[in-house]
Amino acid sequence: MDYTDSERYWIWLSALKGMTARRFYRILTEAEDAENVYAAPAEFRHLFDEAQYRELLASVSEGGADKLMDELGRLGISAVTRLSESYPAELEHISDPPVTLFIKGNASLAREKLFAIVGTRRATYDGKKSASEFSKALAENGAVIISGLARGIDTCAHTACLDAGGVTFAVMGNGLDTVYPPENAHLAGRIIDNGGALISELPPGSPPSRYSFPQRNRIIAGLSAGVLVVEGDRKSGSLITANLALEEGREVFAIPGSIYNPLAEGPNHLIQSGAYCALSPYDILESLKWGERPVKKPGRKKPPELDAGEAKVFESLKNEAHTFDEIVNLTGFSVSELNSYLTMLELRGIIIKLPGNLYRLS
């Protein structure tokens, strides 16, 4: 990728260790151009603390700007600064716009129908299923799904979008020379191979930290027309994303859950505070005018063919999940009888076994 001299030095200054967006803009206000800092660092000594000034001098003496450009090229990473015409307009007016976006994959972020799906890393079966179904339906209606490549809900959202043939962006809290969590390296490759991108405001070599993830959430919220929160407690990072989205005038949706489920606290609180209650992907598609709810065909879904014993187990699980012992009490079957029925129903895909020896209808 070709850069102007102004862009090269802008990228270099933004990539200095410990540089924040606020500090960068404060320096640039006085220096006017990042190249001036590179050419005469002593003139701007007062704008840096001791540790960062040492970093600055070391970088200048080692030809840091050229070394960084070479490293970005070697890693296949593009850098988009606020000087560039390709800088996303959606980020221009958010609080603390990222100084530079490092992008691996499709460097063009100028897309319509950008939508974020976020949630807890400790997702339940229902949460993963919801994230996958919503992501799939949105992708099939042309939405580009944005998430954070984290474990749990993020992983499900990215994966379902790709499986539906869609494009997805992952905004990360570390430098793009590594993938975090490491088990998502294959997923990161799929995102790039299918026309999407990995995005970070942090330069290569930056490790993930407890501070970088909340910071990246403002980029997820800022890029998106809307945000869906699937699961998360009241302190979840997904609620940070949702609140940032509200501050930026984006639409916020949440999937409700049981009042007894700690991971439903976040979405339920958002709904109570005015977020849209999302019971179907079409609640989102219709609200954003991106799609219409399909007309339901008349007639009920045909129930599975069950013998008398299987039907009794099926009825016991019709309204909620139960443990093995609870099903014994509800049906009156012996342990061996119930084991046989549960095995057959599970093999046929009619029920699902969950952690904690719980069973529910699929």
Residue 276 confidence (pLDDT): 94
Q: Can you give the pLDDT at residue 157?
A: 98
> What confidence score (pLDDT) does residue 299 get?
56
Q: Domain segments of the chain: what residues? A: 1-74, 114-287, 308-361
pLDDT at 22: 87
Mean pLDDT of 213-225: 92
Mean of per-residue pLDDT scores for the chain:
91
Q: pTM of this prediction?
A: 0.84
Tokens at residue 112, please?
């319509």
Bridge partners (DSSP) listed for residue 147: 170
The pLDDT of residue 361:
87
CB-CB contact of 226 with 288 (8 Å): yes
The predicted model gives 272-291 an average pLDDT of 94
By mean pLDDT, which of 47-56, 117-126, 193-202, 348-357 is the weakest? 348-357
pLDDT value, residue 302: 61
d(CA 262, CA 258) in angstroms, rounded, equals 8
Query: Does position 93 have pLDDT exceeding 90, yes or no?
Result: no
- pLDDT score of 234 more than 90: no
Mean pLDDT across 33-54: 92
Contact of 242 with 117, CB cutoff 8 Å: no
Enumerate residues 6+ apart whose C-beta is below 8 A from 194. 162, 165, 166, 167, 168
User: CA-CA-CA-CA torsion for 40, 176, 110, 151, nearest 10 degrees?
Assistant: -140
Distance CA 180, CA 173 (A): 8
Give me 279's structure tokens.
């019971």
DSSP per residue, 119-151? --SS--HHHHHHHHHHHHHHHHTTPEEEE---T
pLDDT in tens, 300-327: 566 688 888 888 899 899 888 889 999 9
Burial tier of 300 (Cβ tally within 10 Å: 0-12, 13-18, 19+): exposed
Output the pLDDT for position 20. Answer: 86
pLDDT at 298 over 70: no
Q: What per-residue confidence (pLDDT) applies to 134? A: 97
Work out the pLDDT band at 21, boundaries 50, 70, 90.
confident
* Top-level class of domain 308-361: mainly alpha
Within this chain, domains 114-287 and 308-361 share the same CATH topology = no
Write out the DSSP string of 55-76.
HHHHHHHTTHHHHHHHHHHHHT
> Which residue has better confidence, 2 or 165?
165
Q: What percent of the chain has pLDDT over 90?
A: 66
* 312 vs 319: CA distance, rounded Å: 13
- Give pLDDT, residue 295: 76
Q: Which CATH class is domain 114-287?
A: alpha beta
pLDDT at 173: 94
